[in-house]
Structures are given as structure tokens and as C-alpha cells.
Amino acid sequence: MQWVDTVIQGVLLGGLYALFATGLSLIFGVMRLVNIAHGDLIVVASFAALAVAEGFGMHPLITLLAVVPLMFGLGYVLQRGILNLTLGKDILPPLLVTFGLSIIIQNGLLEVFTADSQKLKAGAIETMSLQIFGGISVGVLPVITFVAAVLVIAGLQLLFFRTMLGSAFRATSDDPDTARLMGIDNRHVFALAMAVSLAVVALAGVLLGVRTNFDPSIGPGRLLYAFEAVIIGGLGSLWGTLAGGVILGVAQSIGARIDPGLQILAGHIAFLIILIVRPRGLFPRAVD
């Protein structure tokens, strides 16, 4: 029964990793942009929530009402003002620019919020748990996180395949030059994609801040988990990203059960094994 419990906790942890990874996956899918600053943007969202929560005495989960639109706007401006200029045939400029952005964000956060470890205090909900079968109990927050991940991915899936904005995303992703000839403004579509990505990042950042401590330097670590989840799942597949997050979460959880020091390593080993067995991930896109 202990192992069942371990796997369930791992699946729920995977929900958080999937939220880290979804925005990254979306951006790569739409514009082939690898956003090295993705992890740091998650931390930006955590700190933004902290500032709003402390400034207005709000519950951290309520700050989402402010942080999500804020990050959405930031995403639009960031893409329109900087990242669009780096996109082209060469894949190096966006990598370099987002790498630089990552360093700027870390140091900017350090300047404003210091290196102190912070946490979003959510009160009673942090320790609430639900009894499920066989005496296993699960935390309410991990469950909320997992459900949020599923809803976000289902929502994005609807956006992609049931709306004209989604068609514009897919058309631009397939062939940006032709999309322009069909009346699609690439710059605007890319900016909206980044805005949606950072809206998801906002949710991930707040849930991260409620779950664990954070400080300005943890971004690259979150980026690594996000990368692993995306690649395990298969580039550009959103449900695959959820599966990737879950596999990573379960592997870490099992590793931690065997030996507490093994948690992180076990995740990386699972990632390596899948990379060897299925180099294109579990659910690669048919057309690429």
C-alpha cells in the first residue's frame, strides 16, 4: 500500500511539473522558440503573487486574479517588443536572448526581493487532506494542482482545435510565411501565444510558491523539469506534456521512497531511459 501511496503522490506532483512544462511546450509548438527564461518567469510569477498577497493582504490563490492577467500582458509585450525580433531561420538568437533574459530576471529579482527564501502562505488549505481508499490520504493542494493541470491542458486543446485563434496558431506553426499570405499577422499571433504561455506560467508560479519555498535562483531548476516533461511527452504534444510531468513526478516520488537523496536523480534517470527507448518522446507529433 505504501507504494500505491508513493505513486499517487508522484502523479499529483506530476501535475505541477506539467504546469511548468505546458507553456514551454506551447511556445515551442507554435514558433519553435526554446524559452530559456521559462523557469525564471515561473519564479517571477511566484514573486508577483508574493508582492500582491503581502501588499493587499490577499490569499495567495486569490492573487491569481491579478497575476494571471499581469503575466498574460507581460507575455504579449515581451514577444512583441523583444522575442519577435529574434525569430528567423537561425535558432541561435532566441536561445541567446532568452538566456540573457534569464540572467537579467534572476538578478532583477535578487535586487528587489533579496536572496531570502520565500513562501506563499495559504493557511489551512496547505495542510488539508482527503482520505481516499485504503487509508491513503492526499493533500488538497496537490489535488487542486493536478486538476488545474488537466483543465489547463484540456482548455488549450479546445483553444487549438476548436477556435480560429487555434487555427491561426497551428497554421503559423506549420508555415509562418504562408500564414502571412493568408492574412494572419504573425507578430500578433506569436505575441498571443506567449501571452497564453505566461498565463499558464502564472498559475504554475503561484502553485509552486504555495507548495514549496522559492528564491530568485530556482528558475533554471524548474526549467529543467519542464524540459524533461516536454521531451518525455514528445515535442509539441500537450497531453504528452501532462504524461511527461506525471512520469517525472512518479519517478521522483519512487526515488525519494527508496532513499530521500535519490529523488532528483531518479527523475533524471527516468528521463534518460525514455530518451534512449523513445528518442522522440512518448507522443511525438505525426507531422514535423
Partner 1 sequence: MAELLRLDGASKLFGSLVVIDDLSMHLDEGEALGVIGPNGAGKTTLFNLISGGLKPNAGTVRFGGRDITAVSPHRRCKMGIGRSYQIPHPFEGMTVFENLLVGACFGTDRAEKQCYEPCAQILEQTGLIAKANRLAGSLTLLERKRLELARALASGPRVLLLDEIAGGLTEAECSELVETIREIRTTGMSIIWIEHIVHALVSVVDRLMVINFGRLIEDGDPHAVMKSPMVQEIYMGISAE
164: contact with partner 1 by CB under 8 A: yes
Piece of 125-133, 164-172, 193-201, 225-233 that binds partner 1 (CB under 8 A): 164-172
Instruction: Examine residue 89 and tell whether it contacts partner 1 (CB under 8 A).
Output: no
Regarding 182 and contact with partner 1 (CB under 8 A), the answer is: yes
Residue 189's nearest CA partner among 30, 56, 29 is 30
> Binding to partner 1 (CB under 8 A): which residues in 197-236?
none
Smallest Cα–Cα separation from 210: which of 60, 68, 70? 60
Residue 124 as a binder of partner 1 (CB under 8 A): the answer is no
Using the rule CB under 8 A, is 32 a contact of partner 1? no
Distance between CA atoms of 157 and 226, rounded to whole angstroms? Answer: 19
| By CB under 8 A, residue 175 contacts partner 1 | yes
Question: Using the rule CB under 8 A, is 259 a contact of partner 1?
Answer: no
Taking the least distance from each CB to partner 1, the nearer of 277 and 287 is 287
Output the smallest distance, CB 204 to partner 1, in A.
27
Distances (CA, A) of 161 to 153, 158, 166, 167, 281: 12, 5, 6, 7, 22
What's the start-to-end Cα distance of the chain, in Å?
A: 43
Cβ atoms of 67 and 201 within 8 Å: the answer is no
DSSP class of 122: -
**82, 125, 171, 275: which one binds partner 1 (CB under 8 A):** 171
Would you give the binding string for partner 1 spanning residues 130-149, x where CB under 8 A is met? Answer: --------------------
Give 86 or 186: the residue with its C-beta nearer to partner 1: 186
- Virtual CA dihedral for 243, 249, 255, 259, nearest 10 degrees? -170
Residues in contact with partner 1, total (CB under 8 A)?
21
174 is an interface residue for partner 1 by CB under 8 A = yes
Q: Per CB under 8 A, does 92 bind partner 1?
A: no
Regarding 111 and contact with partner 1 (CB under 8 A), the answer is: no
Three-state DSSP class for 36? Answer: coil
**Residue 210, all three cell numbers:** 504555495
Cα separations in angstroms, 3 against 39, 73, 280: 31, 43, 29
CB of 29 to partner 1, least distance (A): 10
| Dist CA 160 CA 29 (whole Å) | 11
CB of 95 to partner 1, least distance (A): 25
> Is the Cβ of residue 147 or residue 182 nearer to partner 1 in the bound state?
182
List, in sequence order, every beta strand (DSSP E) within the chain: 129-131, 137-139
Residue (37 or 193) nearer to partner 1, CB: 193
Pick the closer one to partner 1 by CB: 130 or 182: 182
Cell 527523475 belongs to residue: 267
Q: Give the CB-side neighbour count of residue 57, counting CA atoms within 13 A.
A: 0
Amino acid at 186: N
Among 124, 181, 276, 277, binds partner 1 (CB under 8 A): 181
Nearer to partner 1, 116 or 177 (CB): 177
Interface residues with partner 1 (CB under 8 A) are: 164, 167-168, 170-171, 173-175, 177-186, 285-287
